[in-house]
Amino acid sequence: MGALAEAVLAERGEVVGVIPRGLVEREIAHRGLTELHVVETMHARKALMARLADAFVALPGGLGTLEELFEVWTWGQLGLHDKPYGMLNIAGYYTPLIRFLDHACGEGFMRPSQRDKLVVADSAAMLLDTLSSSSS
């Protein structure tokens, strides 16, 4: 996240961060962001990020990334938001997960309409274009 923030700031973009107080105390929060919100809990962090976001993008990552992606996907399924969400499948990182999701759909554990809402792209430009057009 830090590298992405630095790249955006280097191009004079705006970066809004949301971090729980406990992580600020244990880590060094990025103080050069356009805006930094310090909240009390991870739940408050995710709720604020969801309110602030126009769309949700999962870059290659670990458990936290997957948890947040599936949470916003579930929130969308429940009608808690209508914002687009997607995965940036750099170098096939998410290909095994995509196969599993397709398998879950084929086995009847996920509706095709819900599976289709997850935008997957191999390039950032393609992902952002698709998310942008699906939110219009």
The answer to whether residues 15 and 5 touch, using CB atoms and an 8 Å cutoff, is yes
Measure Cα distances from 53 to 33, 49, 64, 83, 99 in Å: 16, 6, 17, 8, 27
Least confident of 1-5, 69-73, 104-108, 110-114: 1-5
Residues carrying CATH 3.40.50.450, the chain: 54-136
The pTM of this model reads 0.86
User: Tell me: the pLDDT tens digits for 94-130?
Assistant: 999 999 999 999 999 999 999 999 999 999 999 999 9
**Domain 54-136 bears CATH identifier 2.40.110.10:** no
DSSP structure class, residue 135: -
Closest CA to 131 of 48, 54, 75, 65: 54
Which pLDDT score, from 0 to 100, does residue 135 have?
A: 65
Contacts of 43 (CB under 8 A, 6+ apart): none
Q: What are the pLDDT digits (tens) for 9-48?
A: 999 999 999 999 988 887 778 888 999 999 999 999 999 9
Whether residue 136 has pLDDT greater than 70: no
What is the mean pLDDT of the segment spanning 72-78? 94
Q: What is the pLDDT of residues 55-67, one digit of tens each?
A: 999 999 999 999 9
Nearest-10 Cα torsion for 84, 65, 35, 49 = 50
